[in-house]
């Protein structure tokens, strides 16, 4: 549905947060009174037919068609008569792949909608945290004020629901330096005052976390303990996102090692490197194969980790996961396109490790089946020429041996 800021649907929330009377609430098609009437973003030129088609494709989140139209000359910044472009639509609707496409093809991060709001404001209102992170990294002004007198932080709170996606959005904005004390221009309500009136407990906690005096150390500690609010405050205080400790571990690596998913979501949203390796050659991505955390795996995938990155044993993440019996992790990671036949420095594949270092019981039997279904070669032998089947037979793993014979 086209975004028109259906404020009547949020009227009760808005009045509770701002103290407006029912007569002051706006209709779905008429903005509330402001000192400056809404204006539109200046249009560089009249949209072409290709531009209209691109905007239509954007509403449908039809990325393939949008890519074809852009290649043919459609402008990602062209706006229709409601002052909405493919870029602004992608932001408001939370279409991450489409947003990335528009950014790659020259989306103007300074562009404004009919309420003189940025793409960041539109995304924050809807709680599209992944989009908010991308827009922050693209350089959208964090404290821009629209014609309603609100910044992105105000909208995330006053029109938000206090749910986890909005909490993530608020943390991203805080980490990016959003002014938490800035009052809304119409009524002077700050984000934290609005959150209190709306009973958004988790949002209040994020907004009230003070900036630390030693930002880098605080960020590393917060990543280790899982304090996402503390991590956001440390970043706002100037902590480098790739800060390292004495072992060259970054905040994202520490979060991954300790399975601190909320902190990792914040760091990934702001562009943390999932491939940064410490003095043991561990990375945030590689560690997921050791911990077996599917939640962390899913959190890191949007950061496009290098699936070929090797640990200190020359292995990729599916190998330690297979060794340790992490069934759910293996089930998920083999769908990423990771090389299931990668050979580590010991001359072993994931299949060989599942047999040689596994226990032959149910978990490892499932992993053998999963690896075979993903295309693992059952005949690939170790550096001594011993196959997975021969290893299974030598260890008396009859069920695994049966599975391997059936795969030949």
Q: Residue 140 maps to which CATH number?
A: 1.25.40.20
**40: pLDDT strictly greater than 60:** no
Phi then psi for residue 220, to 5 deg, are -65, -40
Tell me what the mean pLDDT of segment 187-203 comes to: 97
Does a structural domain hold residue 286? yes
**241: pLDDT strictly greater than 90:** yes
Q: What is the pLDDT of residue 91?
A: 98
For residue range 96-106, list pLDDT tens digits in order.
999 999 999 99
**36: pLDDT strictly greater than 50:** no
CB-based contact 222:234 (threshold 8 Å): yes
Does a structural domain hold residue 248? no
**6: pLDDT strictly greater than 90:** no
Q: What is the pLDDT of residue 7?
A: 37
Return the percentage of the chain with pLDDT > 90, whole number: 88
272 in the same domain as 394: yes
Among candidate residues 156, 144, 46, 140, the one with its CA nearest the CA of residue 102: 140
Q: What is the pLDDT of residue 407?
A: 87
Task: Compute the distance between CA of residue 391 and CA of residue 357 in angstroms, rounded to an integer.
Answer: 10
191 in the same domain as 85: yes
271 in the same domain as 202: no
266 in the same domain as 204: no
Q: At what angle do helices 215-225 and 228-236 cross, to 10 degrees?
A: 160
Does a structural domain hold residue 80? yes
Tell me what the mean pLDDT of segment 349-359 comes to: 98
Tell me what the mean pLDDT of segment 133-154 comes to: 97
Binned at pLDDT 50, 70 and 90, residue 46 comes out as: confident
Q: What is the pLDDT of residue 279?
A: 98
Return the structure tokens found at 302.
């949007």
Q: What is the mean pLDDT of the chain?
A: 91
CB-based contact 342:321 (threshold 8 Å): no
Does a structural domain hold residue 19? no
Q: How far, in Å, are 10, 49, 71, 83 from residue 54 at the CA level?
A: 30, 9, 11, 14
CB-based contact 57:93 (threshold 8 Å): no
62 in the same domain as 194: yes
197 in the same domain as 74: yes
Task: Compute the distance between CA of residue 247 and CA of residue 236 in angstroms, rounded to an integer.
Answer: 24
145 in the same domain as 80: yes
Task: Compute the distance between CA of residue 148 and CA of residue 184 in angstroms, rounded to an integer.
Answer: 8
Q: How far, in Å, are 7, 207, 264 from residue 255 at the CA level?
A: 38, 21, 6
Higher pLDDT, 212 or 187: 212
Q: What is the pLDDT of residue 318?
A: 98
Task: Compute the distance between CA of residue 270 and CA of residue 156 in angstroms, rounded to an integer.
Answer: 17
Task: Compute the distance between CA of residue 389 and CA of residue 402 in angstroms, rounded to an integer.
Answer: 9
What's the burial of 248, exposed, middle or buried (CB within 10 Å: 0-12/13-18/19+)?
Answer: middle
Tell me what the mean pLDDT of segment 281-288 comes to: 98
269 in the same domain as 176: no
Does a structural domain hold residue 247? no
Tell me what the mean pLDDT of segment 349-356 comes to: 98
Q: What is the pLDDT of residue 186?
A: 87
Q: Domain ends where: 192, 208, 224?
A: 208
Q: What is the pLDDT of residue 45?
A: 63
What's the burial of 268, exposed, middle or buried (CB within 10 Å: 0-12/13-18/19+)?
Answer: buried
289 in the same domain as 181: no
**148: pLDDT strictly greater than 60:** yes
List, in order, residues 6 or more apart from 390 with CB less than 8 Å away.
381
Phi then psi for residue 217, to 5 deg, are -65, -40
Q: Domain ends where: 182, 208, 234?
A: 208
271 in the same domain as 159: no
Q: Domain ends where: 146, 175, 208?
A: 208
Q: What is the pLDDT of residue 325?
A: 98
Q: What is the pLDDT of residue 362?
A: 97
CB-based contact 264:284 (threshold 8 Å): yes
Does a structural domain hold residue 287? yes
Domain that holds residue 366: 262-406
Does a structural domain hold residue 34? no
Residue for token pair 């995330």: 156
194 in the same domain as 62: yes
Least confident residue range of 20-24, 35-39, 161-165? 20-24
294 in the same domain as 184: no
Tell me what the mean pLDDT of segment 190-197 comes to: 97
Does a structural domain hold residue 316? yes
Q: Give the count of domains, the chain.
A: 2
For residue range 380-407, list pLDDT tens digits in order.
999 999 999 999 999 999 999 999 999 8
Q: What is the pLDDT of residue 74?
A: 98
Q: What is the pLDDT of residue 16?
A: 40
Binned at pLDDT 50, 70 and 90, residue 408 comes out as: confident
Q: For every residue of 334-360, which 3-state class applies, written as one string?
A: HHHCCCCCCCCCCCCCHHHHHHHCCCC
Cβ-based neighbour number of residue 64 at 10 Å: 8
For residue range 57-114, list pLDDT tens digits in order.
999 999 999 999 999 999 999 999 999 999 999 999 999 999 999 999 999 999 999 9
């Amino acid at each position: 549905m086209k975004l028109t800021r259906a404020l009547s649907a949020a009227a009760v929330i808005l009045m509770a947060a701002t103290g407006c009377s029912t007569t002051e609430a706006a209709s779905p098609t008429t903005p509330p009174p402001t000192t400056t009437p809404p204006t539109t973003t200046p249009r560089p030129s009249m949209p072409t037919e290709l531009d209209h088609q691109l905007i239509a494709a954007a509403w449908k989140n039809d990325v393939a068609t949008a890519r074809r139209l852009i290649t043919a000359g459609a402008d990602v910044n062209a706006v229709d008569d409601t002052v909405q472009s493919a870029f602004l639509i992608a932001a408001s609707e939370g279409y991450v792949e489409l947003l990335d496409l528009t950014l790659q093809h020259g989306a103007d991060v300074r562009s404004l909608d009919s309420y003189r709001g940025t793409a960041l404001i539109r995304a924050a209102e809807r709680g599209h945290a992944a989009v908010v992170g991308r827009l922050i990294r693209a350089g959208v002004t964090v404290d821009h004020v629209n014609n309603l007198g609100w910044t992105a932080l105000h909208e995330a709170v006053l029109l938000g629901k206090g749910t986890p996606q909005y909490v993530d959005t608020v943390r991203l904005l805080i980490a990016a330096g959003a002014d938490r004390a800035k009052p809304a221009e119409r009524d002077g309500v700050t984000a934290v005052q609005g959150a209190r009136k709306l009973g958004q407990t988790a949002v209040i906690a994020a907004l009230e976390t003070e900036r630390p005096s030693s930002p880098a150390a605080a960020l590393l500690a917060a990543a280790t303990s899982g304090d996402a609010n503390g991590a956001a405050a440390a970043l706002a205080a100037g902590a480098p996102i790739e800060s390292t400790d004495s072992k060259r571990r970054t905040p994202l690596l520490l979060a991954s090692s300790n399975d601190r998913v909320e902190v990792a979501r914040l760091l990934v949203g702001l562009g943390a490197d999932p491939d940064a390796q410490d003095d043991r050659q561990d990375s945030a991505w590689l560690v997921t194969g050791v911990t077996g955390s599917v939640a962390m795996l899913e959190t890191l995938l949007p950061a496009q980790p290098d699936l070929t990155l090797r640990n200190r044993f020359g292995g990729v993440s599916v190998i330690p996961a297979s060794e340790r019996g992490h069934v759910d992790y293996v089930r998920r990671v083999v769908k990423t396109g990771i090389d299931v036949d990668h050979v580590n420095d010991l001359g072993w594949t994931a299949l060989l490790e599942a047999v040689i270092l596994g226990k032959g019981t149910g978990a490892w039997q499932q992993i053998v089946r999963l690896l075979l279904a993903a295309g693992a070669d059952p005949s690939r032998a170790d550096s001594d020429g011993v196959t997975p089947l021969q290893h299974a037979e030598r260890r008396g793993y009859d069920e695994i041996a049966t599975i391997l014979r059936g795969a030949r």
